[in-house]
Amino acid sequence: MAGAAGQEYDVVILGGGSGGYACALRAAELGLKVALVEKDLLGGTCLHRGCIPTKALIHAAEVADAARDSEAVGVRATFESIDMAGVNKYKDGVVARLYKGLQGLVKSRKVELVAGAGRLVAKDTVEVDGRRYTGKHVVLASGSYSRSLPGLEIGGRVITSEQALQLDSVPDRVVVLGGGVIGVEFASVWKSFGADVTIVEALPHLVPLEDEASSKALERAFRKRGIAFSLGVRFKGVEQTDSGVVVSLEDGKTFEADLLLVAVGRGPNTANLGYEEQGITMDRGFVLTDERLRTNVEGVHAVGDIVPGLQLAHRGFQQGIFVAEDIAGLEPAVIDETGIPKVTYSDPEVASVGLTEAKAREKFGDVEVVEYNLGGNGRSQIIGTTGFVKLVRQKDGPVVGVHMVGARIGEQVGEAQLIVNWEAFPEDVAALVHAHPTQNEALGEAHLALAGKPLHSHS
Ligand SMILES: Cc1cc2nc3c(=O)[nH]c(=O)nc-3n(C[C@H](O)[C@H](O)[C@H](O)COP(=O)(O)OP(=O)(O)OC[C@H]3O[C@@H](n4cnc5c(N)ncnc54)[C@H](O)[C@@H]3O)c2cc1C
């Protein structure tokens, strides 16, 4: 433990979420002496309030749908109801096992885990409960929180994803404010659990960061599932009563529901942590860095959701690893943000990597595009999903974007990200053998088509 005079480390990390703990593990692996300061639970948002618990809910939703649809495949099962206590027990069990594993990992790498709220009190020092931890390098990794809109107060029946993960019953009717990843995933789960769901999104499409073709396919699929949405209309206000909420939009429409989920994005958790006082350049609460994740203050780095860009756990992991290696002098290659894969785990899933068609046209002018329909893919037929794999290629050049929609299609993003990040040509991928019958074949088929030799698709 550090005395009042402080203790010296190679790296002091403020925040033990995806970015912070990945940095700690890699730095320790490289022989550096590391202190990791965490005020709540090691693992952060992703493990305790984000990726993992939401995906457990999504799996429960999948099982519910499978029971409902069982007759279609000749299995006699009946769907009775959702037992939220059982769902939560399963979800919490998954989180608890992973949490235990992570604690063991951090301990075994000899990272000093400091429990408590830290504050940057000098450019090389984090103070926790009066104790000072000084490092040759400091890594800021304090993560993010659920944002709201001006004047929209969270409380009662107006909730964020944190409360949504703790519900002890399935609401009859929900309005989801925000059609981004988090909003769409909760909408998908609640619909499968039996709720009436309406999404309100101010932009013209759901998952607006995705290729427009993917957004439109998701909208079609949601319409078919009976998930309602209002696009291109702004939220006006909400009134709470004892029994519910009345949500009004600027176009005059109102919706009554049991709950309003506010899923309008995540803000950087950087207030009152001493960052500004130490002269770190910030922009609307985000910590600005160069491409090597160094702030303007010598020796201070930043990773994860506090750095402007995609707020994703795997981006945080990679940035954490990058900073550890950079500090150790390994000169890692800069992370290409456009090469970071994205998956929305709704039903159907939306997955992508690289540039959208629109962005690729902006950048390269001339591009070639192919859309392979999952209707021609055996495995997709078997599991009863529709969707597509869309490829965007620089004219006569490499594949620069892969966009996919369909149940379980997120698992295919692994190969897709190799293709884009290794700048593969369609001909390179077309020559590789894709196992049959898998959804992975759809990627192979799309590349065959783009290479001018379609097999199970029309040219
Ligand atoms: C509902 C939901 C679903 C998500 N699903 C996915 C998904 O499927 N895939 C995906 O890639 N991403 C997902 N995300 C995003 C992902 O969780 C974040 O991108 C990721 O957690 C960011 O990691 P981070 O290390 O920057 O911050 P965080 O994970 O937020 O960790 C920051 C840590 O710092 C600690 N901290 C903050 N201030 C202090 C202080 N003063 N002293 C000590 N400790 C402090 C916090 O307690 C926290 O543990 C989801 C997020 C949410 C909310």
Q: What are the tokens at 440? A: 């992975």
Query: CA dist 434 to 170, 180, 312, 369, 446, Å?
Result: 41, 32, 29, 21, 11
Alpha-carbon distance 245 to 444, whole Å? 48
User: Could you tell which of 37, 47, 51 is best to mutate to test the pocket of ligand 1, judged by most ligand atoms within 8 Å of the CB?
Assistant: 51
User: Could you tell which of 18, 133, 163 is best to mutate to test the pocket of ligand 1, judged by most ligand atoms within 8 Å of the CB?
Assistant: 18
Q: What is the mean pLDDT of residues 1-16?
A: 79
List all residues whose CB is within 6 A of at least one atom of ligand 1: 14-20, 37-40, 44-46, 49-51, 54, 117-118, 141-144, 161, 182, 269, 273, 304-305, 311-314, 316
The model's pTM is: 0.97
DSSP state of 193: T
β-pair type (34-38, 112-115): parallel
Three-state SS letters, 204-216: CCCCCCCCHHHHH
Alpha-carbon distance 56 to 289, whole Å? 34
Backbone angles phi, psi at 49, to 5 degrees: -135, 15
Is the pLDDT at 457 greater than 80, yes or no? no
- Amino acid residing at 20: G
Beta bridge partners of 34: 11
pLDDT at 234: 96
Q: How confident is the model at residue 456 (pLDDT cuts 50, 70, 90)?
A: confident
Nearest residue CA, atom 51 of ligand 1? 50
Are residues 351 and 342 in contact, defined by beta-carbon separation less than 8 angstroms? yes
DSSP alpha helix (H) spans, 287-355 = 313-327
Element of type H or E holding 449: helix 440-450
Is the pLDDT at 111 greater than 70, yes or no? yes
Alpha-carbon distance 58 to 53, whole Å? 9
Is the pLDDT at 357 greater than 70, yes or no? yes
Q: How confident is the model at residue 287 (pLDDT cuts 50, 70, 90)?
A: very high
Task: Express as a percent the part of the chain with pLDDT over 70.
Answer: 98
Are residues 281 and 295 in contact, defined by beta-carbon separation less than 8 angstroms? yes
Are residues 407 and 421 in contact, defined by beta-carbon separation less than 8 angstroms? no
Q: In terms of Cα–Cα distance, which of 39, 60, 342 is closest to 188?
A: 60
pLDDT at 459: 56
User: Could you tell which of 46, 94, 127, 306 is best to mutate to test the pocket of ligand 1, judged by most ligand atoms within 8 Å of the CB?
Assistant: 46
Q: What are the tokens at 429? A: 């991928």
pLDDT at 3: 46
205 as an active site residue: the answer is no
Q: How confident is the model at residue 458 (pLDDT cuts 50, 70, 90)?
A: low
Give the orientation angle of helix 357-364 with respect to helix 212-225, to 10 degrees.
170
pLDDT tens-digit map of 86-109: 999 999 999 999 999 999 999 999
1 vs 288, higher pLDDT: 288
Residue 3 Cα to ligand 1 middle (Å): 29
pLDDT tens-digit map of 60-79: 999 999 999 999 999 999 99
Is the pLDDT at 7 greater than 50, yes or no? yes
Nearest residue CA, atom 6 of ligand 1? 51
Residue 43 Cα to ligand 1 middle (Å): 8
Q: What is the mean pLDDT of residues 348-370?
A: 97
pLDDT at 1: 44
Nearest residue CA, atom 53 of ligand 1? 50
Average pLDDT, the chain: 97
Q: In terms of Cα–Cα distance, which of 452, 456, 406, 447 is closest to 428?
A: 447
pLDDT at 2: 47
- Shortest-distance atom of ligand 1 to CA 304: 26
Is the pLDDT at 4 greater than 60, yes or no? no
Alpha-carbon distance 88 to 60, whole Å? 10
Are residues 305 and 311 in contact, defined by beta-carbon separation less than 8 angstroms? yes
Q: How confident is the model at residue 5 (pLDDT cuts 50, 70, 90)?
A: low
Selected catalytic residue, list 436, 447, 456, 458? 436
Task: Express as a percent the part of the chain with pLDDT over 90.
Answer: 97
Q: Which domains does the chain have, with CATH numbers?
A: 8-146+268-337 (3.50.50.60), 158-264 (3.50.50.60), 348-450 (3.30.390.30)
